[in-house]
Structure 1
Amino acid sequence: MPRRRSASRILLVSSSHRLLLFKIHYKAGALAGRSYWATPGGGLRGDESFEAAAARELYEETGLDVQSVGRCIARKEFLWKMPDEEHVLAVEKYYVVYACAEHCSTARWSAQERDVVCEIRWWSENELMASTEEILPPDLPILFGKALLMSPYQSG
Structure 2
Amino acid sequence: MRAVIQRVKEANVTVDGTVLGAIGVGFVVLLGIHEQDSLTDVDYLVRKISLMRVFEDEDGKMNRDLAAVAGSVLSISQFTLYADTKKGNRPSFVKAARPDVAIPLYNAFNEGLIKAGIPVATGEFGANMAVSLVNDGPVTIILDTLDK
Which TM-score band (shorter chain)? under 0.3
